[in-house]
Chain A
Amino acid sequence: MHQEQCTTLTVLDNVPFGTVSGENLFFALRIERPEWADWQPGQFVMLRPEGWALDMMWARPFSICRVSKRDLVIFFQVVGRGTKRLATLKTGDKVVLWGPLGTPFAVEDKTPTLLLAGGIGIAPLVAYAQKHPQPWNLHMEFGHRMPLNCYPFESINERITAANHHERSPEDLAHFLDLIETSIAEYAESDGLVLACGPTPFLKAVQAFAAKHNARCQLSLENRMACGVGACLGCVTKTTEKMTAKGVAAGRAQACEHGPVFWADQIILDEE
């Protein structure tokens, strides 16, 4: 059953997190809670401020970071025209929002689950840790380039064990990748689950390690989207013969519908 809705909601606040060279680039946007029956970590929403003129037509996709009885929080980084303008949203502004959309992360209560987050990719994994019924089975490795206080890391640390790795140099990155390969190998041995979200080079590395060590692994993609509902075909990813989702044809699957979370062995990331 479909339960997506498109509604106009009020911004409660838009709080900057940390600073980068004196600039606010990271924000926790808190919106009044939509009337959703349910949602799952890994799912996302499409969001477009009501005040936007036609010069910027698309809504923007954001992973659900937190949902409480009162609010919905999405976490974003200023990376382009859209997010730059979203940073100016203020309390009381209205946004048009539709969701929850997409295929969520797998949840296996009793399975040791490794969460791998790269930068802003931490957002859906915060939701994952928040909603998991047995959080003591979760552990996170978080790699980031900007200062730690730019990210919602502390909140996750309250619920699960998590380690952060500040990448200041290529050596730091190499060290982080070594570490996650070792971790992925360990989780593969105990038939654990590996879930990753972050920039594409990071996801490609995770995907390669998962294949090498035969780990069960899911990746959450951050593809450019226009509609969020499967129609525009702008967010597709190439699929392998292991892709089993119904309705996927011609070797390509929409990240908005069949993702954003995919099993790592079902997709090919050579175009992203």
Chain B
Amino acid sequence: MSTNVTLPGSTGLQFKNPILTASGTFGYGVEFAPYGDLTTLGGIVVKGLSLEPRAGNPMPRIAETPCGMLNAVGLQNSGVENFITEKLPKLPTEQLPVIANIYACDPAEFGELTAVLAAEEGIAAIEVNISCPNVQEGGILFGQDPQQAARVTEAVKKAAGVKPVIIKLSPNVTDITTIAKAVEGAGANVISCINTLSGMGVDIRKRKPLIANVIGGLSGPAIKPVALRCTYQVCKAVSIPVIGMGGIASAEDVLEFILVGAHAVQVGTANFLRPDFSFRLVKELEELMEQMNITDLEEYRGSLQL
């Protein structure tokens, strides 16, 4: 039995299994090193990086909701330079694909940020968070407009050199396939989907929003059917590989995303169930595959019968 995943095309990306950890839920990896062997994971996507350090949003930033959570952390991070000098050297990058997730406010800044990361040998790929406003275009979200999404993709591709570029799509759109096709056309090597769903929560007694930013991103098993639908649609719409995510909390969930066509998955909010969750999931997936007599994930992938 093999859990190996090789992404087709020119990406050169290989994972020893399809389980990656999602940005923002696994820190910079080192936080979870006491709880498992990082090199057993398919890969990790680190906390979103910006060119300059960002303080993020005021508190409270997170709230537990039924089968999930809301967050509006606001991409607090200590900046790309700090990541490269302080965090990256602590990761076993020779045995573990480390994917840098990036965030910027205009295409030029995306390019600049990518160039910094492209020079780092320890970075396996760059994942682009396009669920952010373009300050030059009146704050329209890059991820909600096919042209804007394509423009970011081009800027990142141009600066990325040989590094594969993964575009992370937002589900907060009318038709996710138009964005998917736009980024594929602009040269994206891989698509990952979905980012969080826009949501909010309120406290009826205090008459206050649950998080200071009022609106935040919903994640967790509550969004899994939406994530699965998006992954299914995107897989059908494009020919580049897709990494699915959204509410994955079991080995069965992993297979659901692979069944609809995803090459790999990312585990997010479930990492908060327990810090060794993703490490255990790798083993549980092997057990489930054995139980179901799946010897080749590639054979199983996309085999949904309609």
A residues in contact (CB < 8 Å) with B? 2-6, 48, 54-59, 81-82, 96, 98, 223-224, 226-234, 236-237, 247, 249-252, 257, 271-272
Contact = CB atoms under 8 A, between A and B. Distances in A.
A250 B276 contact: no
Given A6-B35, A54-B221, A250-B54, A98 B275 contact: yes
A140 to B, nearest CB: 29
Q: Is the interface of B mostly helix, strand, loop or mixed?
A: loop
A249 B271 contact: no
Most chain B C-beta atoms within 10 Å of own C-beta, residue among A96, A229, A251: A229
B276 A233 contact: no
Interface stretch (B60-68, B160-168, B290-298): B60-68
Interface stretch (B25-33, B91-99, B130-138): B25-33
A4 B35 contact: yes
Given A57-B67, A57-B68, A249-B79, A231 B25 contact: yes
A255 B270 CA distance: 21
A79 to B, nearest CB: 13
Main secondary structure of the interface of A (DSSP, over half): loop
Given A3-B34, A54-B273, A59-B272, 17 more contacts: A2-B34, A48-B273, A48-B274, A54-B221, A56-B64, A227-B25, A227-B272, A231-B32, A233-B24, A233-B47, A233-B76, A236-B56, A249-B82, A250-B56, A250-B78, A252-B55, A252-B76
B53 interface: yes
Nearest to A257: B31
A218 B269 CA distance: 32
Contact of A54 (B54, B249, B276): B249
A251 B86 CA distance: 18
Given A4-B34, A6-B274, A54-B221, A232 B59 contact: no
B220 interface: yes
B69 interface: yes
Interface string B251-276: 00000000000000000011111111
Contact of B61 (A58, A81, A229, A236): A236
B62 to A, nearest CB: 3
Contacts of A251: 55
Nearest to A80: B64
A213 B36 CA distance: 47
B90 to A, nearest CB: 11
Q: Which of A54, A59, A223, A228 has the most CB of B within 10 A?
A: A54
Contact of A55 (B58, B67, B271): B67
A221 B35 CA distance: 25
B71 interface: yes
